[in-house]
Amino acid sequence: MALPPAFLDELRARTPLHGLIGRKARLVRNGRQWKGCCPFHNEKSPSFYVYDDHFHCFGCGAHGDAITFLMRAEGASFPEAVERLAAEAGMQVPRPTPQAAARERRARDLHEVLAAAAAAYQRRLAQPEGAAARDYLHRRGLTEATIARFGLGWSGEGRGALAAELKPEGIEPAQLVAAGLMKPRDPERPEAGLVDMFFGRVMFPIRDRRGRIISFGGRILGDGQPKYVNGPETELFQKRRGLYGLDLAREAAFRGATVLVVEGYMDVIALHQAGFGGAVAPLGTALTAEQLGLLWQMTPEPVLCFDGDAAGGRAAVRAAEIALPLLSPERSLRLATLTGGEDPDTLVRKGGARVFEAVLETAKPLSAALYDLLTAGRPRATPEQRAALRGQLEAAARLIPDRILSGEYRRVLLDRFFEEQRRPRPGGGPGGGSGPRRGGAGRRGEALAPPPGLQRRPIDIAAIRLERARNLLAILLRHPAILPDVEEALMTLDLPAGPCEALGHALLDWLRGAELLDSEALAGHLAQNGMQDTVAWAVRATGLCAAAHPTAQPKEALDGWWHFFGLLRGEAELIKDQTEAQRLLTDRNDPAAQKRLIGLTKALAALRAGETEAIPEEASQDQSPDGALDGAPAGAAWGPVTSRGALRDDTIG
């Protein structure tokens, strides 16, 4: 039995092709696709391109999908390739059962039934009975070529007319019911007969990614309700798994068109006619996770362009909520905003393609648009309201599974939040008075004097570096088991002179002869060497990161250590270290070199995450007397610390 086409389509959709091929060939991103040297013939200049759903070599002509690649690259048979890919995708390969064969025949028959129905609808549109529908389409600005390209038709007014017209082709009413074209007149009384699902409506064929008709949508002429009706869900059609215009948009995206999501069928058709061939629309539902997956197969950053009314705003918010848990550094969204109640159809009819192109050019990345979506209409007058809003912003960022990307979104959202709180308010402040606010800003362009007696001390960079080194060493004192993983990196670190430098040397000396990497054993060794006070200073609670807590997990401690290492080492030195570690790994191929490279990569990523860009003002102030170590420089009274060990900068403003 041949495998069902729907299963194979789903298998291809679940297999990231560049990830699969990247196991055999080194690929680099090249715009919307990936390229590299062809794994099927020797070449020095890359001519092998990997797209979302296929690969092609312009040198030897190799071409195919994920299944084809496994067959060519590893000599696997078709069933073997399918089994392997299905196992990786978490799918079960359908077995050759009579029921499966019957489903396959039924699906093939349903595609043929729907194609026959589409032809019948198109014939009716061209006949006198379709005159009103043709006039409507022409009034909406559609050309005959566009009407033909999208296969638009007219359902007719008569009940049961479709079944009568298709009967000579051997199509039975039961098949029309299975295809979603007819339904029982009364579900409680089967003997009452069947009626057409669509009558008196302009018909819009809905196609899958391969261009096969899977259902229809119908629009009533005039002001009746519901204005649009979609076919019911069937074996071929699930609303949440398809997009209107998907087959045409895939072709356009391959040629470089912008992939954009609009709300309605007529929006899609009008945009295609205006030259925006990457337009698609949901099928009568809010945008779903499955539909986002289809979009990301075409482009890493599709554009959402919803109508410029309240409903369009709500649709944008829902789309963002669905998208956040699915985002990654390689997959995001942009949002284009329409104003004044416009929709894409009316906009291109009034102003042409140039006006809509201007809208696309102003599309914002999701990271920039999300703040406006989440804060629209939210009160911010009281501390409680601002706290609730801030909590919502942080909760939205936490929905993103990639930790680095989540941190970036959190930083962007909170930056906007704090900037808004500091922004001058009309009328001179919350109370509406005209006088300057204490410690705030006055009228635009005016600088306000600080409150009397407030002295702003300069930021003490040395104290900040000392606190970072103290946290790094405290992590090792609480979790000495990670010392072998970071020994070489610690040796390269230039710790602040004094207690930190002495403690760093003592840790390395202890590691060389230690039999048990235990915190109590380490504390005893250091006490014997007269370093009790140094240890007490390093692990004091004030300003200590969570990674240095005794209950922290080993991975949390190690991640925190590499975080502080990155801050102390600096980006330029980290890049040099990373390059050298990569060279050693290539030369030696031993686990130690690999661990060092992984750690340095983590440190560099943490440093670039930007979570410590701002330096708290408190860093310039003296420590409390009970927290300082005699002979040690004064440190900083840091605010809360994240679980990764990153010093948070959002406690001010």
CATH topology of domain 98-237: DNA primase DNAg catalytic core, N-terminal domain (3.90.980)
* Residues facing residue 33 across a β-bridge: 30
Quote the pLDDT of residue 330. Answer: 84
CA nearest 262: which of 150, 377, 348? 348
Percent of the chain at pLDDT > 70 equals 83
Find the mean pLDDT for residues 326-348: 88
* Total residue length of the chain: 653
Q: Where are the alpha helices (H) located in 52-97, listed in sequence order? A: 66-74, 78-89
Residue 190 neighbours by CB distance under 10 Å: 10
**Nearest C-alpha neighbor of 247 from the set 180, 151, 179:** 151
Residue that has been written with the tokens 């009281």 in this structure: 382
**Where are the CATH 3.40.1360.10 domain residues in the chain?**
275-427
CATH architecture of 275-427: 3-Layer(aba) Sandwich (3.40)
Write down the pTM of the prediction: 0.57
Q: Where in the chain is the domain with CATH 3.90.580.10?
A: 5-89
Tokens of 570: 């600096």
| Terminal CA-CA length for the chain | 67
Sheet strands (E) in 317-454: 334-337, 364-365
pLDDT reported for residue 45: 84
**Topology of domain 5-89, CATH:** DNA Primase; Chain A (3.90.580)
List CB contacts of 252: < 8 A, sequence separation 6 or more.
277, 278
- Residue pLDDT, tens place only, 589-647: 666 667 777 777 877 776 666 443 333 333 333 333 333 343 333 333 233 333 333 33
For residue 126, name the pLDDT band (cuts at 50, 70, 90). very high
Q: How confident is the model at residue 475 (pLDDT cuts 50, 70, 90)?
A: very high
**How does pLDDT run across 227-255, given as a tens digit for each residue?**
889 999 998 999 999 999 999 998 888 77
Give CA–CA dist 126/235, Å, rounded: 30
d(Cα 83, Cα 79) in Å, to the nearest integer?
6
Q: What letters, b where the CB count within 10 A reaches 16 and e where it falls short, cover 212-250?
A: bbbbbbbbbeeeeeeebebbeebebbebebbbbbbbbbb
Cα 283 to Cα 126, 295, 297, distances in angstroms: 26, 14, 18
User: Angle at CA 559, nearest 5°, toward 533 and 509?
Assistant: 45
All residues at 6 or more sequence positions from 368 whose CB lies less than 8 Å from its CB, including other chains:
412
Instruction: State the span(s) of the chain assigned CATH 3.90.980.10.
Output: 98-237
d(CA 374, CA 170): 55
Token pair listed for 529 = 């060497």
